[in-house]
Structure 1
Amino acid sequence: MRIGYFLSCEEYTPAQLIEQAQLAQDAGFQGLWISDHFHPWNDEQGESPFVWSMLGALSQVVTIPVTTAVTCPIMRIHPAVVAQAAATSAVQHSGRFVLGVGTGEALNEHITGERWPFADERLEMLEEAVQVMRSLWEGGFVNHRGRYYTVDQARVYTLPPTPPKVYVSAFGPKAVETAARIGDGYISTMPDADLVRQFRDLGGGDKPVQGGFKGCWAPTEREGVETAHRLWANSGLPGELSQVLPSPKHFEQASRLVTEEMTRDAVACGPDPAKHAARLQAYEKAGFDEVYVANMGPHYRELTDLYRREFL
């Protein structure tokens, strides 16, 4: 199983993200994830740089593969524009760029004032959006009149030698079926062997499966739990809340339901490598090919050092 590093745009400045990417590559991480948000989950996290600017900058400082985890190409940005952005990123990264996509969250996508669709409709939109992007990556002019999108005499001129791979994020049975059918790979943030098996059985076959989790290095477990809970209590919200809440303040309100004990159970906190080993092993046993770890809080240098010593 390959181990990569997850760049959290919600918490760090552009300069810090670039530093983390360089540290990760130097430590031996084999790839990068980078999040694509308009808002952070809460004001305490406090950042949200534009992912396409970050991808251009990353292409100048790292040579390991980079995947968006994940881009939502259905509302905030038209899929034709995402197709151009992804093609440019693939050129800049010499083919080592993967476009991870998903159906998104209201937190980021409602900002243009459009109605936030239900999950089934968003899946239909995502499937059409991927179709639009792949048509544009073939070269030539594209005209498309679909249920959700119109493309009028559009052509992407800057193209990589081969089209970008599209990995699809999915958490429920219908979404996993869609991912298996249209994706070049599968993305999940849960070490769920049943979902991996479903993806492979429904047509995913031996396509790559990527997973990710967050840790919080700190001098003590207690400090790590406090930091993780202050910054990322929203990670403990159940069900579809993370898809439907519309603003950071609503996540702050809902996150009051998440206790520090819940955070302690869900996050590898503190300096003990065994806690991280347990997270990695859970993904390995579930059948993941790649897993990406993010750090919460200020001690990302220490986390990369931990992984250099213990796992890489």
Structure 2
Amino acid sequence: MRFGYTLMTEQSGPRELVGYAADAERAGFDFEVSSDHFSPWLTEQGHAPYAWSMLGAVSQVTERVELMTYITCPTIRYHPAVVAQKAATMGVLSNGRFTLGLGSGENLNEHTVGHGWPAVDTRQAMLVEALEIIRALHAGDLVTYRGEHFDVDSSRIWDLPDEPVRLALAVAGDKGVQRFAPLADDLIAVEPDPDLVSSWNAVEGAPRIGDGARAIGQIPICWDPDEDAARERAHAQFRWFAGGWKVNADLPTTAGFAGATQFVRPEDVAENIPCGPDLDKIVESVSAFKDAGFTDVALVQVGDEQQQRFLDEAAEPLLAKLRDRLG
């Protein structure tokens, strides 16, 4: 199993994130993923730099770690042709270390451009067209595309990496797996659901997880020498996580997330996020992804406050424990 570090754009500024990326590579993480948000989930988080500028800088201060968006929505805020160009440039800058993580997005970020928030079936149909466009442009040919949702007119990407950028797809449920598994290189999911992995592997034409394809999970943790401080910070900055995907995808503002989570208690958050200095408790939480058949998992250290200390003091011994038990 491979272990990643999350560049959480909602909780840190761009200069800080670039520094954390370099330190996370030195600490021994295998890969780094970045969120791609226009807004934080909660006002308390306080940040939302442009992920693609930050990732370009990260590509130049790192040499070994793989880089990835987790995740980009290529349908409303961005036209898929522009996403294809950005991803290709990242592939070149990183010397082939970049994976484009894609999904159908959240209202929180996509409502910004004023085009409305479609129903889930429409969002997924838009994502299929976006994938077709990105694949075609990454082949290096002149592309003209006419779809129900997107058009591309006589366009080519002129700077491409030596190998095509991998496409990882965030999916949930049998319908999503059936629809998207044949179109992707890797699976993304934030819940350690073994049925998701087995369903993916059963789809005809899908790349098989464990045999070239990856299942890439993500888990929040809140390391801190003071467990009470960790619980309070996790509650302040990550209580939105308790809403689940259906809520998180549809709420449009930080005020909406604050209202939806006003009755979530610190102890409720701590039931789902390992908090405090106990590294074994973190390993136990991560093990659920290993048991579910995931090949990769990215850790989210909650909050900017103890981010540098986590990287300086906890990351290396935590990675040693993770690799000893789950690697």
TM-score range, shorter chain: over 0.9
* 1:212 counterpart SS class: strand
Q: Which residue of 2 aligns with 1:306?
A: 314
Q: Which residue of 1 aligns with 2:20?
A: 20
Question: Structure 2: where are the runs of 5+ without partners?
Answer: 321-327
Q: Which residue of 1 aligns with 2:62?
A: 62
Quote the Cα distance in structure 2 between the aligned partners of 1:112 and 1:267.
33
Partners of 2:101 and 2:169 within 8 A in 1: yes
Quote the Cα distance in structure 1 between the aligned partners of 2:20 and 2:308.
8
1:277 to 1:148, Cα distance in 2 relative to 1, 3 A:
same
Q: Which residue of 2 aligns with 1:295?
A: 301
1:55 to 1:310, Cα distance in 2 relative to 1, 3 A:
closer
Partners of 2:102 and 2:169 within 8 A in 1: yes
Quote the Cα distance in structure 2 between the aligned partners of 1:186 and 1:273.
27
Question: 2:315 is aligned with what amino acid?
Answer: Y
Segments ≥4 residues shifted beyond 3 Å: none
Quote the Cα distance in structure 2 between the aligned partners of 1:306 and 1:200.
35
Quote the Cα distance in structure 2 between the aligned partners of 1:16 and 1:174.
39
Quote the Cα distance in structure 1 between the aligned partners of 2:245 and 2:7.
24
Q: Which residue of 1 aligns with 2:79?
A: 78
Quote the Cα distance in structure 1 between the aligned partners of 2:188 and 2:180.
9
Q: Which residue of 1 aligns with 2:11?
A: 11
Question: 1:139 is aligned with what amino acid?
Answer: G
1:103 to 1:254, Cα distance in 2 relative to 1, 3 A:
same
Are 1:234 and 2:240 counterparts?
yes
Q: Which residue of 1 aligns with 2:323?
A: none
Are 1:271 and 2:272 counterparts?
no
Q: Which residue of 2 aligns with 1:46?
A: 46
* RMSD (Å) for aligned C-alpha atoms: 1.2
1:111 deviation in Å? 1.1
Quote the Cα distance in structure 1 between the aligned partners of 2:195 and 2:181.
14
Quote the Cα distance in structure 2 between the aligned partners of 1:12 and 1:310.
22
My pick for the range that moved more, 197-206 or 39-48, is 197-206
1:204 to 1:258, Cα distance in 2 relative to 1, 3 A:
farther
1:155 deviation in Å? 1.2
Residues matched between the structures, number: 312
Q: Which residue of 1 aligns with 2:325?
A: none
1:163 deviation in Å? 1.4
Quote the Cα distance in structure 2 between the aligned partners of 1:257 and 1:269.
20
* 1:161 counterpart SS class: coil
Quote the Cα distance in structure 1 between the aligned partners of 2:314 and 2:158.
43
Q: Which residue of 2 aligns with 1:219?
A: 225
* 2:33 counterpart SS class: strand
What whole-Å deviation, never above 9, does each CA across 1:28-69 have from its counterpart, x for those lacking one? 100001000111101110101111101110011012100100
Q: Which residue of 1 aligns with 2:208?
A: 205
Partners of 1:193 and 1:286 within 8 A in 2: yes
1:239 deviation in Å? 5.0
Quote the Cα distance in structure 2 between the aligned partners of 1:179 and 1:195.
12
Partners of 1:217 and 1:302 within 8 A in 2: no
Question: 2:236 is aligned with what amino acid?
Answer: R
Question: Structure 1: where are the runs of 5+ without partners?
Answer: none
Quote the Cα distance in structure 2 between the aligned partners of 1:302 and 1:177.
42
My pick for the range that moved more, 174-183 or 191-200, is 174-183
Partners of 2:28 and 2:319 within 8 A in 1: no
Quote the Cα distance in structure 2 between the aligned partners of 1:68 and 1:238.
20
Quote the Cα distance in structure 1 between the aligned partners of 2:95 and 2:245.
38
What is the TM-score when the length of structure 2 is the normalising length? 0.93
Partners of 2:201 and 2:207 within 8 A in 1: yes
Partners of 1:88 and 1:158 within 8 A in 2: yes
1:238 deviation in Å? 3.3
* Overall identity of the aligned pairs, in %: 38
Partners of 1:179 and 1:186 within 8 A in 2: no
What whole-Å deviation, never above 9, does each CA across 1:284-303 have from its counterpart, x for those lacking one? 11111011101112112333
Partners of 1:179 and 1:199 within 8 A in 2: no
1:124 deviation in Å? 1.0
Partners of 1:128 and 1:148 within 8 A in 2: yes
Are 1:115 and 2:116 counterparts?
yes
Q: Which residue of 2 aligns with 1:34?
A: 34
Partners of 2:29 and 2:319 within 8 A in 1: no
What whole-Å deviation, never above 9, does each CA across 1:145-164 have from its counterpart, x for those lacking one? 11110111111111111211
